[in-house]
């Protein structure tokens, strides 16, 4: 079996008593795209920073293509393209100067350096912005620049922390298509995002972290199946008049759960999978005076799976909830950063 692109084994990162990463183990095969999912503060950035050799684990190992991030950081930095969620820009440095600066830092020289910078600008479509100041770009173009910087050394593994955050829909679609091209080239991509629908579309697997523990690793479909404990059918119900009356009506009907408010009504779950029961519920709503103008069946999506997964964790139904104690003997003594 070939060496995984990313291999993490019993990884811990404590900040004082805070267990940011708490015994994490996973592998990502070469050439695959893996989405890293979790609530705010779940431990995604901390894990990714360790993979990028920017932080040390308290204990455990992390490897990129077989290279340990602590003992072989130079090899790791050669193999990995790191795109942080925020990155600093330099004043009075144009886009081309910015990329050229990082290409120099990576050791590119002369003609080869100019060529590499040009290739990256072509790929990210930054050519027309080459002479613009890098700290004055829009959010979408700043992300392109961050991606360009991460791609300079033509990395095998791309680690991207929330690259789509703050992007408008057009910029998100463009970023997604760039990621797709990179995936088709055979790069391994490890990407965190809160935009689950997009991750589901482009990822081979999803890694779900909660409270520093991995609670699920599999494809989007397995995550949907594993979390669908309640079953039933979902509907978007739109009514005329007082929108609150729908949630009040649901409270009186135990087989109907009100999930979220929407502009003129809300999203509900009907406990039964039988379509006759849905028809009966709709009939009762109308009989009880709700002026229903739309009753539209919806599919369960990854957001539902995410919320149901958190529900399972809260109820203690997922093993990730109770972490094993961290071994007391550190495997190495990391130097102070
Ligand atoms: P988000 O989705 O909000 O970006 P995340 O999953 O990336 O969250 P992390 O940034 O990894 O979460 O943070 C995990 C936990 O570790 C949080 O409670 C955070 O406050 C804490 N943390 C992260 N870095 C440090 C640090 N340098 N010192 C102390 N605590 C930290």
DSSP per-residue letters across 288-303: TT-EEEEEEEE---HH
C-alpha to C-alpha distances, 82 to 49, 116, 153, 213, 233, nearest whole angstrom? 9, 17, 11, 22, 41
Q: Which atom of ligand 1 is nearest to the CA of 162?
A: 4
Q: How confident is the model at residue 79 (pLDDT cuts 50, 70, 90)?
A: very high
What does the pLDDT read at residue 253? 94
Residues 6+ apart with CB under 8 A from 64: 5, 6, 51, 75, 76, 79, 80, 157
What does the pLDDT read at residue 91? 78
For residue 199, how far is its CA from the centre of ligand 1 (angstroms)? 21
Give me the residue spans of the domains in the chain: 1-89+148-218+319-337, 91-136, 229-299
In the structure encoding, which two tokens stand for residue 122, read together?
């072509």
For residue 139, how far is its CA from the centre of ligand 1 (angstroms)? 23
pLDDT surpassing 90 at residue 299 = no
What does the pLDDT read at residue 98? 95
Ligand 1 within 6 A of CB of 18: yes
> Which of 68-72, 189-193, 304-308, 333-337 is the least confident region?
333-337
Number of H helices, E strands in the chain: 11, 14
Ligand 1 within 6 A of CB of 210: no
Ligand 1 atom 4 nearest Cα: 40
> What number is the average pLDDT over the span 186-193?
95
pLDDT surpassing 70 at residue 329 = no
Mean pLDDT of the residues in the chain: 89
pLDDT surpassing 50 at residue 246 = yes
For residue 41, how far is its CA from the centre of ligand 1 (angstroms)? 5
pLDDT surpassing 90 at residue 62 = yes
Task: Report DSSP letters for 179-208, one per residue.
Answer: HHHHHHTT-EEEEE-S-HHHHHHH-SEEEE
pTM, two decimals, is 0.84
> What number is the average pLDDT over the span 279-294?
95
For residue 241, how far is its CA from the centre of ligand 1 (angstroms)? 44
Q: Which CATH class is domain 229-299?
A: alpha beta
> What number is the average pLDDT over the span 29-55?
95
For residue 43, how far is its CA from the centre of ligand 1 (angstroms)? 6
Q: Which atom of ligand 1 is nearest to the CA of 209?
A: 6
Ligand 1 within 6 A of CB of 141: no
Under DSSP, the state recorded for 94 is: B
Architecture per CATH, 1-89+148-218+319-337: 3-Layer(aba) Sandwich (3.40)
What does the pLDDT read at residue 328? 53
> What number is the average pLDDT over the span 250-278?
92
Q: Of 259, 232, 231, 248, which Cα lies nearest the Cα of 285?
A: 248
In the structure encoding, which two tokens stand for residue 231, read together?
């079953």
Crossing angle of helices 169-184/139-151, nearest 10°?
10
Over the stretch 134-156, which tens digit does the pLDDT of each residue have? Answer: 988 988 899 899 999 999 999 99
Q: How confident is the model at residue 319 (pLDDT cuts 50, 70, 90)?
A: low
pLDDT surpassing 50 at residue 333 = no
Ligand 1 atom 24 nearest Cα: 46
In the structure encoding, which two tokens stand for residue 302, read together?
């990854």
């Amino acid at each position: 079996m070939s060496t995984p692109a990313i291999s993490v084994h019993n990884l811990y990162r404590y900040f004082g008593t805070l267990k940011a990463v708490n015994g994490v183990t996973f592998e990502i095969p070469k050439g695959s795209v893996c989405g890293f999912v979790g609530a705010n503060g779940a431990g995604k950035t901390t894990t990714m920073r360790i993979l990028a050799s920017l932080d040390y684990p308290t204990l455990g190992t992390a490897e990129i293509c077989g290279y340990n991030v602590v003992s072989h950081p130079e090899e790791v930095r050669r193999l990995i393209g790191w795109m942080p969620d925020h990155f600093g820009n330099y004043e009075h440095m144009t886009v081309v100067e910015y990329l050229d600066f990082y290409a120099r830092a990576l050791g590119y020289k002369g003609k080869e350096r100019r060529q590499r910078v040009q290739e990256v600008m072509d790929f990210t479509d930054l050519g027309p912005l080459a002479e613009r100041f890098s700290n004055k770009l829009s959010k979408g173009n700043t992300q392109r620049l961050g991606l360009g910087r991460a791609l300079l050394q033509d990395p095998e593994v791309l680690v991207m922390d929330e690259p789509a955050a703050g992007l408008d829909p057009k910029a998100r679609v463009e970023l997604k298509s760039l990621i797709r091209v990179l995936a088709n080239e055979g790069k391994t991509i490890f990407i965190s995002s809160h935009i689950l629908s997009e991750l589901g579309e482009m990822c081979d697997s999803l890694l779900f972290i909660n409270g520093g523990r991995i609670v699920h690793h599999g494809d989007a479909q397995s995550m949907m199946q594993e979390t669908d404990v309640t079953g039933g059918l979902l509907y978007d119900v739109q009514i005329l008049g007082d929108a609150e009356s729908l949630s009040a009506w649901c409270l009186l009907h135990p087989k109907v759960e009100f999930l979220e408010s929407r502009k003129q009504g809300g999203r509900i779950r009907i406990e039964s999978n039988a379509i006759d029961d849905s028809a009966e519920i709709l009939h009762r709503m109308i009989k009880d005076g709700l002026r229903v103008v739309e009753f539209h069946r919806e599919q369960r999506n990854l957001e539902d799976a995410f919320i149901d997964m958190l529900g399972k964790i809260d109820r203690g139904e997922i093993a990730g909830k109770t972490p094993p104690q961290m071994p007391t003997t550190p495997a190495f003594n990391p130097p102070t950063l």
